[in-house]
Amino acid sequence: MLSDHAVSILIFAGIDVIMALSFFLPASAGQLSAGQGGFMALGAYTSAYLSVHHQTPFPLALAAGGLVGGLVGLAVGFPALRLRGLYLVLVTFGFGEMVRVFFLNAPAFGGPAGFAGIPPATTIWYVLGLLVVLVYFFTRVSGSRMGRAFAALRDDEAAAEAMGVNSTYVKLAAFAAGGVMAGLGGALYAHYTLYIDPEAFGVGRSLFVMLYAVFGGLASFWGAVAGATILSILPELLRWVKDWREILYGLLVLIMMLVRPQGLLDAALLARLSARGERAAARG
């Protein structure tokens, strides 16, 4: 079987994929959020608090993390309704930063010293199980009424509204669902690292989550899956360059974004892949 080290890489990669998907969902409705780290923090701290202080069973604590992420997502969604594009990016940045400062100043959650003593509960099966559920969810959503409403809002909000899409409802749903996913990701993270501090969920985290999804391409949720997997395993592959690792990583991401500004899996590549898949299915 896999070594402990390999399992830990897989678990972190899986959590990164969950986070990238949590960014992708609102992004597929045209709502770019740069505050996913904030939702992750909420999920992580909620579940950790319940586990440590109330001995809540892990599945319940996990669900509570997702629930809090979703509720706050809904609350953030309301003011976000008035904002678009880069304004929204910046306000969600601000949201993430405020969550970080909140936990930094909350003695009940350990403040700057962090929150330790979280019982180990996250296993690779939890992560894979959640990923399977999410992939199923996204494949179902993309062709559904809701999925088409997302795409319509992203492409042209005025036209979508004229066609009868309730933009308020759809945007709030997208934000809340993204918040649930990030909250779940945070809860899984907390019960794997067993120690969390506010800095783990700062701006850097939010930016990386965004980078994963955009690197993979925003044309389909598979882009977020591919982007997060590649970029979270890449540092392992770059071990041999030692302390040049971050510099090389940054350069590789830069070159890749210059070569494929639409991300790894853009619409053209997806169409080619799915045509090949259909031909294979027709032959089989």
Partner 1 sequence: MFVQQLVNGLMLGGAYALVAIGYTLIFGVLNLLHLAHGDVFMVGAYVGLALALAGFPPWATLGGAMLAAAALGVVVERVAFRPVRSRGSHVTPLMTTIAVGLVLQHVVVKIFGAEPVAFPAPFAAASLALGPVTLSTLQLLILGTSVALMALLELFLRSTPTGMAIRATAENPTIAGLMGINVSLAIVITFAIASALAGAAGVLLAWNFTGLSPFFGVKVGLKGLAIMLLGGLGNVTGAMVGGLVVGVVEALSVGYLDSSYRDAFAFAVMILILLVRPTGLLGARLQSG
Among 141, 238, 257, 270, interactor with partner 1 by CB under 8 A: 257
Residue 91 makes contact with partner 1 by CB under 8 A: yes
Site membership for partner 1, residue 251 (CB under 8 A): yes
Choose the binding region for partner 1 from 7-15, 39-47, 199-207, 275-283 (rule: CB under 8 A). Answer: 199-207
Using CB under 8 A as the binding rule, whether residue 94 contacts partner 1 is answered as: yes
**Is 132 an interacting residue with respect to partner 1 (CB under 8 A)?**
no
User: What does each C-alpha distance from 198 to 14, 66, 104, 182 come to in angstroms?
Assistant: 21, 18, 6, 15
- Count of residues in contact with partner 1, rule CB under 8 A: 43
Q: Does 93 bind partner 1 (CB under 8 A)?
A: yes
Residue 131 vs 211, nearer CB to partner 1: 211
Specify the stretch interacting with partner 1 by CB under 8 A; choose among 163-171, 183-191, 239-247, 269-277. Answer: 239-247
Report, in Å, the least distance between residue 63 CB and partner 1.
29
Q: Rounded to whole angstroms, what are the CA distances from 173 to 3, 40, 82, 145, 200? A: 40, 18, 15, 13, 27
Choice from 13, 15, 20, 32 touching partner 1 (CB under 8 A):
32
- 237 binding partner 1? (CB under 8 A): no
Task: Please report whether residue 250 would count as binding partner 1 according to CB under 8 A.
Answer: yes
Residue 207 binds to partner 1 (criterion: CB under 8 A):
yes
Binding mask 109-128 for partner 1 (x = CB under 8 A): ---x----------------
- Cα 117 to Cα 227: distance, rounded to the nearest angstrom: 32
Q: Is position 75 an interface residue for partner 1 (rule: CB under 8 A)?
A: no
DSSP string, 118-158: PPP---HHHHHHHHHHHHHHHHHHHHSHHHHHHHHHHH-HH
Convert 64-83 into a string of H (helix), E (strand) and C (coil): HHHHHHHHHHHHHHHHHCCC
* Site residues, partner 1 (CB under 8 A): 32, 79, 82-91, 93-95, 97-98, 101-102, 104-105, 112, 203-204, 207, 210-211, 214-215, 218, 243-244, 246-247, 249-251, 253-254, 257-258, 261-262
